[in-house]
Structure 1
Amino acid sequence: MNKRILPFIAAVIALVSVFLVVQVRNSPATTVMDDDGDYGDGIFSIDTDRNINDEFRKVYGEGGDSFSRWLQSGRDPSVVPAVVAGIVRDGTFIFHSGVNADLDTPMGIASLTKTFTAVLTLRLAEEGVLSLDDPVRKYLPDVKIEREDLGSRKVTIRDLLAHLSGMPTAGDQYSAVSAGREIIQFPRQKNPAGLCYAYNNAGYVVAKAVLESATGKPYDGLLKKYIFNPLGMDATSAKGSNGTGGIVTTLRDLAKYTTMLINRGRYGGKSILSDTSFHEMLAPQVELPRTEVDYHYSLSWEVITVKGRVDSYYKAGRWYGESSAIQVFPARKIALVYLCNPPHHLTPAFMSWRQSLTGRLRNLVRASEGDPGLCTSWPSLSAEQIQWYTGTYENILTGKKIKIWIENETLLSSLSNPPGQLHAFTSNRLLMGQGNVLHNFVWQDSRVVGLALTSGYYRLVP
């Protein structure tokens, strides 16, 4: 028999084995499957008294056992008191393991909440309630993010979801305005809207207020109507969520959401997002150069592309007492998920452990797919490509100039003294030195036109 067929047969056997140990809930919709193979809610009624990992072990070897042993012994309880993780394929877990937590233990998901805000916004756009390209001030007249002195256009809903508002990750000046029953705080814009990515929590707080203003309904109620209830996420709550964090769920419920993602917006015969909206959710929101492998931030997701196609997309969240992640491999229809509760989410000990957790889960995905090369590509730039970024850039407000040049085949920046070496993080975002100072180069009409830094925007000059 062709050896290349064996992993496929093994995977089919595993799925059948897992399916047989699933107990279906008493619901008229639990056995519904549509033509794409989406499963109804009951497929997640896994009998946790029986270890479905036995089926995983039979097909994929001892990788699952090794992971479970590491989860027990490689965890400092003071750093991570509880954790539960799993691999989801075709509407069910093919593997899961936990310490002091199981599939039904509620935990906060921190910034993974942003993906729910994005899905909800796209759904409301489908229904004609709003448009992604509507200005924020259409719904929140007092929330003025754009600055005239920067020449910024009006900030849109799309800008908020894609972190393109021009607001910095952390600002030195903040505005506070009333929005409904809440006071919204947001940092002073540093770069013109729509040009460059800068991760910003305030943008999603504003987005939540936009959704409530556009619909006249509370954010948590909208999530229930459009996402939680259709997916059967009965153990999930968004009470108290600010749009950027705050959702509390279980791994069982999170797997339902993940299955919807795997199936491009569909679940159990229901459409949460259209295929057009789903494509929009993962697409680049700024112009990028063409490279073999790239990484971009879409509408809430971090997307890795290989030869122009989505290889995987990922989103993690971390805050005090909560951390989570989903990574979907769309071509394989498989995903990894986890929840844990670190008391302190920024310590080196937790960050190192979390990196190991994600790496080991990816190894389980590779084992199940029989592909050790899965998710091992990362963006790089050739000697010819780094020449794209050479030139002199001038701050549009202060006139300060920064020079980017090549010396001994190394791209250097005059932002630091001595000049710092730039290395590729993505096709248009380069990091400088040990401090990893981000240089965000702006492309328009297939050429570089500017450089966005935390200190402001620099225009490429002759």
Structure 2
Amino acid sequence: MTSSSVPLLPATERSLLHRIAVGQSEGRTPSLVGAIARGGRMVWAGAWGDVASATDTQYRVGSITKTFTAVLVMRLRDEGVLGLEDPLEKHLPDTGVGGVTIAQLLSHTAGLSAESPAPWWERTPGGLRPGLADVLGERPFAHPPGRGHHYSNTGYALLGSLVSAVRGIPWEEALRAEILEPLGMHRTTSQPVAPYAKGWAVHPWADVLLPEPAEDLGLMAPAGQLWSTTADLCRFASFLAGGDARVLSAESVREMRTPAAPPITENWDGGYGLGVQLIRRDGRTLVGHSGSLPGFVAGLWLSVDDDVAAVVLANATSGPQLGALVSDLVRIVVEAEPRFPEPWRPLPEDDAPTLCLTGSWYWGTYAYGLKALADGGVELQPLRDVGRGSRFRPLPDGTWLGLDGYYDGEVLRVVRREDGSVSHLDLGSFVFTREPYGPEDAVPGGVDEGGWRGAR
């Protein structure tokens, strides 16, 4: 049995439904739906209020759309069509802001203004902004590029146009062919398809409603156009947890989840990667995205470490505190039903050559242990909680690439003697040897000929 095959307990399901009901009631929204994904599939869904289906009713998801746009850009990077450090101008000329890089646009560090010029783009037809000059306006920058995080909807309009320019097809077509179809997200669309929830504004001082417009956002669509369901977003959350070879590798998805934008305050509890938000709640890191458009609020958050994702959708302009609600759903599941560890299994026989590298290594007098991992990588960690550790994945040339911690992105090389035996490990010029300052070891600066000695 694996963790993905264990159903939620009835008590857990009731706690989740109760939290959904409280969110709908206190948030004063016509309807609210939520769902939980674990082990790569949806394991619970619930609804409260006036809604046709907890799993199949479409809601507008607002800025969760940005994560989809970011995946399209990362696919282009992985194909070698563009580089994240490329200036926008290289692939999308004549915007007037082409000096900013693609990475800066993805991480909201390009310094662009948060919104397009008036009229309010979320409540007006996209046809009012027929060109990128109309999206950016006369004052496109709010800050110098690269200096800090400043959330920008216009930046993602540029990324959507970049995808269209490079692919030679509309952003919506690329989205459908490259993400939605492979992941089986058939209920995620640019325009609403029944059954779908109507968007409402709820009066702040009376229990009355006002319909909100549902506009086609035109060039701003890559920043917030999509409609989706809890079932589809659970599929997308599972993809963000582990990748999918048909769409984007696990390594590239992990890169998206890595903080890319510096915090804007000293006491920060969140950040931004490449198209995904990161927050700290209840002692755990959640990755995903929030979303809102007039008439709707949405949230998709997952704890990769706990293998739990939560989705919440509501059809009111304001009211439900979705950030707290979604994190509460994750917390309920994690605390009531901790993740089962994956069964231990021995490594495949063809991974045996790595065995010669395992065991104790020394950087100077710091003791480390190198362990072979089930995924074919290795992990180097200090043995006395003093030092820097990382995981590494093998590269085709026989070296190893750091994946996290201090050595993220650094190269680990196995240096061999003339007879083929292992001499030492070279990690970013640091030498790791089998003994602490062994007399025959290749230690930079050499080893004193007198060797180790007692005090005199």
Bin for the TM-score computed over the shorter chain: 0.5 to 0.7
Q: Can you list the C-alpha shifts for 1:387-422, whole angstroms capped at 9, x where unaligned? A: xxxxxxxxxxxxxxxxxxxxxxxxxxxxxxxxxxxx
User: C-alpha separation between the residues in 2 aligned to 1:170 and 1:260?
Assistant: 29
Rounded Cα–Cα distance in structure 2 between residues aligned with 1:90 and 1:338: 19
- RMSD of the alignment, in Å? 3.4
- The answer for the alignment partner of 1:334 in structure 2 is 308
Within the candidate set 216, 231, 249, 1:274 is matched to 249
Q: How does 1:6-155 map to 2 (within 5 A)?
A: 12=3, 15-16=4-5, 18=7, 55-58=8-11, 60=12, 62-71=14-23, 73-76=25-28, 80-99=29-48, 100=51, 101-145=53-97, 154-155=99-100
* Equivalent AA in structure 1 for residue 247 of structure 2: I
| CA offset digits 1:195-240 (Å, max 9, x no partner) | 2110010000111111111111110111111100100111111355
Which residue of structure 2 lines up, in the alignment, with residue 183 of structure 1? 131
Instruction: List aligned pairs for 1:295-306, cutoff 5 A.
Output: 295-304=270-279
Worse-superposed segment, 190-199 or 280-289: 280-289
1:86-139 per-position Cα deviation (integer Å, ceiling 9, x unaligned): 111012233221121420001111011000000111011111222222211223
Name the CA distance, whole Å, in 1 between partners of 2:303 and 2:280.
11
Contact 1:163 1:203 in 2 (8 A): yes
Shift of 1:69: 4.3
Q: Distance in 1 between matches of 2:56 and 2:118?
A: 42
Does the CA-based 8 Å contact 2:263-2:270 persist in structure 1?
Answer: no
Residue from 159, 174, 179 that aligns with 1:222: 174
- Tell me the equivalent position of 1:377: none
Pair 362,129 (structure 1): closer, same or farther in 2 beyond 3 Å: same
Amino acid paired to 2:153: N
Name the amino acid aligned to 2:111: G
Corresponding residue for residue 226 of structure 2 = 247
- The Cα shift of 1:73 comes to 4.2
**TM-score of the superposed pair, with normalisation by structure 1:** 0.57
Q: Secondary structure at the match of 1:203?
A: helix
Q: What does 1:292-441 correspond to in 2, within 5 Å? A: 295-304=270-279, 311-342=285-316, 344-345=317-318, 350=319, 353-370=321-338
Structure 1: runs of 5 or more not aligned: 1-8, 19-54, 147-153, 372-462
SS in 2 for 1:339: strand
Distance 1:315 1:188, change over 3 A: same
Distance 1:61 1:254, change over 3 A: closer
Question: Is the 8 Å Cα contact of residues 223 and 238 (structure 1) preserved in structure 2?
Answer: no
Q: Deviations over 1:345-396 (max 9, x none)?
A: 3xxxx15x4355335324323334449xxxxxxxxxxxxxxxxxxxxxxxxx
SS of the residue corresponding to residue 154 of structure 2 reads helix
Structure 2 unaligned regions, length at least 5: 120-126, 192-215, 340-456
Query: 1:244: Cα distance to partner?
Result: 0.1
1:154-175, CA deviations, whole angstroms, 9 ceiling, x for partnerless residues? 201111111111123258899x
The alignment partner of 1:97 has SS state of: strand
What is the percent sequence identity of the aligned residues? 27
| 186-195 vs 109-118, greater mean Cα deviation | 186-195
- Distance in 1 between residues matched to 2:17 and 2:102, nearest whole Å: 45
Contact residue 17 and residue 46 of structure 2 kept, 8 A: no
> Does the 8 Å CA contact 2:302/2:330 hold for their aligned counterparts?
no
Query: Residue 165 and residue 91 in structure 1: after superposition, are their counterparts in 2 closer, same or farther (change >3 A)?
Result: same
SS of match in other structure, 1:303: strand
> Structure 1 residues 57 and 337 mapped into 2: Cα distance closer, same or farther (>3 Å)?
same
From the CA coordinates, give the structure whose radius of gyration is larger: 2
Aligned counterparts of 1:354 and 1:276: Cα–Cα separation in 2: 29
In 2, Cα distance between equivalents of 1:63 and 1:158:
41
Secondary structure at the counterpart of residue 178 of structure 2: helix
Give the number of aligned pairs.
297
Aligned match of 2:236: 257
Q: Give, as a single letter, the amino acid of the residue that structure 2 aligns with 1:248.
A: W
Tell me the distance in 2 between the aligned counterparts of 1:278 and 1:188: 30
Note the 1:134-213 alignment, pairs <5 A. Answer: 134-145=86-97, 154-170=99-115, 182-184=130-132, 185-186=135-136, 187-213=139-165
Structure 1 residues 366 and 138: alpha-carbon distance in aligned structure 2, compared to 1, 3 A threshold: same
Could you tell me the TM-score, scaled by structure 2's length? Answer: 0.58
Counterpart residue number, 2:405: none
